[in-house]
Amino acid sequence: MKRFQHLIVGGGMTAAAAAHGIREVAPGATIGLISADPHPPYNRPPLSKALWKGDPESSVWRTDDVQGVELILSRRVTGIDTGKRTVTDETGEIYGFGSLLLATGGAPRRLTGAPDSVVYFRSLDDYRRLRALAGPGKHFVVLGGGFIGSEVAAALRMQGADVTMVIPEAGVGVRVFPGSLSQHLVEYYRGKGVTVWTGEGVATVTERAGKSVVKTTTGAELTADCVVAGLGIIPSVDLAQAAGLTIENGIVVDEYLRTSNPSIYAAGDVANFPSHALAHRVRVEHEDNANAQGRQAGRNLAGANEPYHHLPFFYGDLFELGYEAVGDLDARLETVSDWKTPLQEGVIYYLANGRVRGALLWNTWGQVDHARALIAEAGPFTAASVVGRLPVG
Ligand SMILES: Cc1cc2nc3c(=O)[nH]c(=O)nc-3n(C[C@H](O)[C@H](O)[C@H](O)COP(=O)(O)OP(=O)(O)OC[C@H]3O[C@@H](n4cnc5c(N)ncnc54)[C@H](O)[C@@H]3O)c2cc1C
């Protein structure tokens, strides 16, 4: 049986950052990383952005972070023995640990009964598969108008493909952006040559004569060379659940990123943690959190015992539009828009109970730290008093 001082289950960005964090505190420690993925850790955001704009595939690897780490790839961990401090993988191999991090992330939500040809866009292999198919004359149906759907639709369109988006809600990014912006994005996408169907769910996806056929909830039918689904992720908690750890919208951790078993930590997309700045629990599916929280979890695995108080930001690219955002971007909150150029360049504040809970920096750069400071302010803020607090553009 192999034994590691620190063992990481998962091979994504959180895992890579954690390995880095462990070595900051304990440079000589033995570290094992077991991942179901066949590849060593890589960055996911470029898969829907930079790689489609010419960056080489070699730019995604997290090689430096995993120097000196024993990588055990293409292996899924199926059990944890908390008493013996061991994990078992799907082949029956057993590994011992001193401390354990679960960085198991999430798996794409799938359509029941759909054929294997549907691409649930999450991994490097999904990117490679789609990239090989993309090009002029090909028709793609993209399901979902959230982060993944909107970015993949833009990436495919930029390759000259015909793209139809099928979005159950009324606009693009409706859960995050206020209605006016979400509606504007529908028109913006149409202006880029993307066909956008809103208010249409997916009833079935089938195959006919080598093509994919999407039937929508209103009975309309679309034929495509490929269907790409961006339907969100489900946090991968099975392992933690079987080990008796507390689960509630992810693996529940404290501010030190410890689970309900103090020798097991969790971080990244899978972790439900207490946000210091927002004063409530959150589970964040974004890169900055994966990197910062993964690093902190790694440091704590190695004995640093530091709380995680970072308020993560996130960002996105939609054709030439870009944004950064901090805090709770929940379109159900009161939103206050401060545009320099309407719908092109500005700041949107998300307010609740007289406090700023989030800020969307739309084609507005260099304000992330100021936005964090504003969210930390006690207020009270009103729509009138918050406008102008962050410079626009
Ligand atoms: C295409 C794409 C674009 C994105 N763009 C942005 C962006 O622009 N901005 C932004 O902020 N965020 C973006 N994100 C989100 C960001 O990439 C994620 O938040 C981050 O990758 C999460 O990392 P993670 O390591 O926590 O989880 P994951 O990336 O889900 O990694 C989990 C790993 O654990 C492995 N695993 C799971 N269970 C087991 C098990 N039982 N045994 C062994 N291994 C297991 C999986 O195989 C996987 O390797 C994007 C994500 C995608 C997919």
Tens of pLDDT, residues 24-50: 999 999 999 999 999 999 999 999 999
Is 0.95 surpassed by the pTM of this model?
yes
Residue 299: pLDDT band by 50, 70, 90 thresholds?
Answer: very high
Pocket test for ligand 1, best of 72, 104, 273 (most atoms within 8 A of CB): 104
- Residue 242: which H helix or E strand, with range? helix 238-242
Count Cα atoms within 13 angstroms, Cβ side, for 353.
Answer: 6
Instruction: Ligand 1, residue 122: give the atom nearest the CA.
Output: 53
Nearest CA to ligand 1 atom 7: 45
Does residue 126 register a pLDDT over 80?
yes
Pocket test for ligand 1, best of 34, 119, 150, 286 (most atoms within 8 A of CB): 286
Across the range 249-253, mean pLDDT stands at 98
The residue to which tokens 């809970």 are assigned? 357
Nearest CA to ligand 1 atom 37: 104
Q: Say what percent of the chain tops pLDDT 90.
A: 97
Query: Which residues share a beta bridge with 324?
Result: 315, 361
- Cis amide prior to 136 (ω within 30 degrees): no
Query: Using a 6 Å CB cutoff, which residues line ligand 1?
Result: 9-15, 34-37, 44-45, 47-48, 76-77, 103-106, 121-122, 148, 236, 239, 268-269, 285-288, 290, 314-316
Give distance in angstroms: CA of 14 to centre of ligand 1: 8
Q: Say what percent of the chain tops pLDDT 70.
A: 100
Across the range 2-13, mean pLDDT stands at 98
Q: Residue 135's pLDDT is what?
A: 85
- What length does the chain have? 393
Phi, psi of 35 (to 5 degrees): -130, 140
Pocket test for ligand 1, best of 49, 231, 269 (most atoms within 8 A of CB): 269
Q: Residue 317's pLDDT is what?
A: 85
